Homo-oligomer: A and B are copies of this chain.
Amino acid sequence: MYIPNFDDMLAAHARIMPYIHRTPILTSSYLNDLTGAQLFFKCENFQKAGAFKVRGASNAVFGLSNEDAAKGVCTHSSGNHALSLSYAAGRRGIPCNVVMPRTAPQAKKDAVIGYGGIITECEPSTTSREEVFAQVQAKTGGDFVHPYNDPRVIAGQGTCSFEFMEQMEAEYGGPVEMMVAPIGGGGMISGTCLTLSHIAPDIQIIASEPEQADDAYRSFKAGHIIADDAPDTIADGLKVPLKDLTWHFVSNHVSDILTCTEQEIIDAMKMTWQRMKIVIEPSCAVPLATIIKNKDRFAGKRVGIIITGGNVDLDLLPWVK
């Protein structure tokens, strides 16, 4: 198991720069008043392909030798990694095969196809996904870019916190005291740990998770990986389990994992749309929901929040009955 390091992150940053946006950091006086904290939102919903996952995917795709790249790439993903890998492969001009649960949001499937990716559907369970994927990979021979348990992907996701720290210094007078990101498979959190443990080890890293998909929370408390086969949450990006690489970062560098209910996720999502005027996925509302639920932990602190993506099916909004 190769553990990606800070130099891998720096190399990733240089490699992917031409293909990604330097996304803005937004603030909201309303949400600051509500939480008593100073919140800084890194808006990866404005990222290329609508999600932070394009960082890791681009690092993997553009790091391939010409010979390996010719065979294309393949992956399984609940959505954003699928379309990010399709985007990156499209930019390099190589094929991309993705296995997606048939229940993934239509907006994400459409985006994959729009970027030139080829979809094979599976059932919405980890078991089915892994079975179908094995068939697809055997058939295509493409390089497998795992959505999170891949050193190239984690190094790529780490560029987000690196940019965040630069921007905080340049635009907001210095760093934060805490950093909060959602946790599913743990790719973004691992990248965050990779970068911050090197350049700002005093920053507390908090992971946020839906109660109805709390395998990372239970793993964290138990001290070893506990996986659910088919968790059910509106935060469709957070249904996957930790794996050995992401567990390494989570177990070594995460200070705590906080959870919240489905209704708290929906409320925080709607509040973000209403007050910040940005379109975010349910997954990105999980950090804000846990901050609102645990105000005492955050009050008076400068807190970074990673808004992970904005690929929502606008015809199926959770607060519209």
- A residues with CB within 8 A of B: 24, 26, 45-46, 50, 107, 270, 273-274, 276-280, 310, 314-315, 317, 319-320
Partner of A273, one of B274, B279, B319: B279
Contact B314 A319 (CB under 8 A): yes
- In chain B, what residue has the closest Cβ to A47? B277
- In chain B, what residue has the closest Cβ to A24? B24
Which B residues are in CB contact (< 8 Å) with A280? Answer: 277
6 smallest A-B Cβ distances: which pairs?
A277-B310, A277-B279, A45-B277, A320-B320, A273-B279, A46-B277
CB distance from A107 to the nearest CB of B (A): 7
CB distance from A48 to the nearest CB of B (A): 8
Most interface-central of A26, A274, A317, A320 (chain B CB within 10 A): A274
A sample of 4 more A-B contacts (CB under 8 A), given A279-B279, A314-B317, A320-B320, is: A50-B277, A107-B274, A273-B279, A278-B278
A50 to B278, CA, bound (A): 12
A274 to B50, CA, bound (A): 9
Which B residues are in CB contact (< 8 Å) with A274? Answer: 107, 279, 314
Tally of this chain's copies = 2
- In chain B, what residue has the closest Cβ to A43? B277
- In chain B, what residue has the closest Cβ to A310? B277
CB distance from A55 to the nearest CB of B (A): 17
A314 to B107, CA, bound (A): 19
A276 to B312, CA, bound (A): 12
Partner of A320, one of B45, B107, B315: B315
- In chain B, what residue has the closest Cβ to A107? B274
CB distance from A252 to the nearest CB of B (A): 33
A280 to B273, CA, bound (A): 10
CB distance from A23 to the nearest CB of B (A): 10
Which B residues are in CB contact (< 8 Å) with A317? Answer: 314, 317, 320
- In chain B, what residue has the closest Cβ to A111? B274
- In chain B, what residue has the closest Cβ to A28? B46
A277 to B278, CA, bound (A): 6
Contact A319 B315 (CB under 8 A): yes
Q: A278-B278, A279-B279, A320-B320 are in contact. Are A273 and B24 (CB under 8 A)?
A: no
CB distance from A155 to the nearest CB of B (A): 25
25 contacts between A and B (CB under 8 A): A24-B24, A26-B46, A45-B277, A46-B276, A46-B277, A50-B277, A107-B274, A270-B314, A273-B279, A273-B314, A274-B279, A277-B278, A277-B279, A277-B280, A277-B310, A278-B278, A278-B279, A314-B317, A314-B319, A314-B320, A315-B319, A315-B320, A317-B317, A317-B320, A320-B320
CB distance from A146 to the nearest CB of B (A): 26
Which B residues are in CB contact (< 8 Å) with A24? Answer: 24
Which B residues are in CB contact (< 8 Å) with A310? Answer: 277
Which B residues are in CB contact (< 8 Å) with A45? Answer: 277
A273 to B50, CA, bound (A): 12
